[in-house]
Amino acid sequence: MSFGNTIKKVEDIAYAYSVGIDYYAVDSEMEVEKIAAHAPGSKVYGRIATSGGDCDWPLSRKFGTDVNHVISIMEYAAQLGLDAYGVSFHVGSQNYNVNSWDDAISDAAEVFKILRSRGINLRMLNLGGGMPVKHIREIKSVKAYGDIINKALDKYLSSVPNLELFIEPGRSMVGNSAILVSQVILRSKKGNENWVYIDAGVFHGLTETIEGFRYEVLTEGKVDDTKIAFHLAGPTCDSVDTIYHEIDLPKNLGYGDIMYFINAGAYTTEYATNFNGIDAPRVLFVEDFIDAKMPVDGDFIE
């Protein structure tokens, strides 16, 4: 088990160390110092930033740093008695470009090569996540991503003996395990704008839509109806609670209609709150999609 967040409280580092966790991600000198003080001798790996191109949720503005900085950080870790163990990256959540992994592994290999020339032999590469689940855009198979990764490893890191690999497929493993079921509670027209409000919003599981994350949205009994553009919003008093400022929905959408957000099994229940006194969606288990077709208030169907 590894502590993959590069931003950690010293109390959390100390606790992780006390229960036997000895892999820690870093992307700054201060993080190295905290780990050296509270998890001495542990294995650390530096996180490189990636371009985040062609993904729905880039992660390198907050996490990771450039190759030269990672090299410097890992040298510093070794000086403080830590085990400079490896490199990590994340190409961005829902990444549709399989070549993103080739680029990132190439950058990681540069860190391996330069540190090896300076007497530090890294032994681990954390490939992060990023493999997508099907929403609006078509996606390639897991095999297609795996083939690119394996070829890149052979091309750039074949000289590293017994290379240890970590991977965190996350969303692609669980995204298709659930559907968020919500109900229309208001329709209004403001000037030329059509608005629809549902009983689950960005504070109740649809947080990622704030950054433009697009779910496939179906409406019970109206899948083939004529569609027009709507603004789609949640039920709370906060104007941030706007799911999409433009989405095509059935023209005759009305109160009580049931909407399904498909493949909502990842990063939804974890984000749900009881903000404004509105309950977070429940999680219900069903055998198949037919069983999910029930008028339940903002629930997740798995």
pLDDT in tens, 189-235: 999 999 999 999 999 999 999 888 899 999 999 888 899 999 999 99
Contact 236, 270 (CB under 8 A): no
Same domain, 52 and 148: yes
Give 76-113 pLDDT, tens digit per residue: 999 999 999 999 998 877 887 888 899 999 999 999 99
289 Cβ contact list (under 8 Å, min separation 6):
179
Instruction: Tell me, yes or no, whether 156 and 20 share the same domain.
Output: yes
Whether residue 23 sits in one domain with residue 139: yes
- Tokens for 239? 């104007």
Same domain, 18 and 106: yes
Mean pLDDT, range 27-41, rounded to an integer? 98
In the block, tokens 């450039």 appear at 66
Token digits of residue 251: 């023209």
Phi, psi of 124 (to 5 degrees): -135, 145
Same domain, 190 and 115: no
Given this model, what pLDDT does residue 211 score? 82
pLDDT confidence of residue 64: 93
pLDDT at 181: 94
Residues 26 and 153 in one domain: yes
Q: What is the domain extent for residue 263?
A: 178-301
Both tokens of residue 169? 């497929």
In this structure, what token pair is assigned to residue 56? 């729905």
Residue ending a domain, among 129, 147, 173, is 173
The H-or-E segment that residue 261 falls in is strand 258-261
Q: What is the mean pLDDT of the chain?
A: 91
Task: Answer yes or no: do 45 and 166 share one domain.
Answer: yes
Tokens 């949720």: give the residue. 57
Q: pLDDT value at position 190?
A: 95
The domain boundary residue, chosen from 119, 148, 173: 173
**Domain check: are 192 and 250 in the same one?**
yes
**72 & 211 share domain:** no
CA 126 to chain centre: 15
Residue 232's pLDDT is what? 98
pLDDT at 295 (0 to 100): 47
CA distances from 213 to 17, 26, 109, 143, 287 (A): 36, 28, 31, 24, 27
Q: What's the pTM? A: 0.86
Residues 6+ away with beta carbon under 8 Å from 86? 43, 45, 46, 122, 123, 124, 125, 126, 164
Residue 68 is part of a domain; what is its CATH number?
3.20.20.10
Q: Which of 230, 202, 296, 216 is nearest to 258 (CA)?
A: 296
Q: Which residue has the tokens 């400079």?
A: 84
- 157 or 95, which is more confident: 157
Q: Between β-strands 193-198 and 227-233, what pairing exists: parallel, antiparallel or unpaired?
A: parallel
Domain-ending residue, one of 154, 173, 192: 173
Q: What are phi and psi of 17, to 5 degrees?
A: -65, -40
Q: Quick one: 119 and 209 in the same domain?
A: no
User: Which of the four pLDDT bands, split at 50, 70 and 90, describes residue 299?
Assistant: low
| 31 and 9 together in one domain | yes
CATH number at residue 295: 2.40.37.10
Q: How many independent structural domains does the chain possess? A: 2
Asked if 154 and 245 sit in the same domain, the reply is no
- CA–centroid distance for 224 within its chain: 32
- Token digits for 136? 């609006």
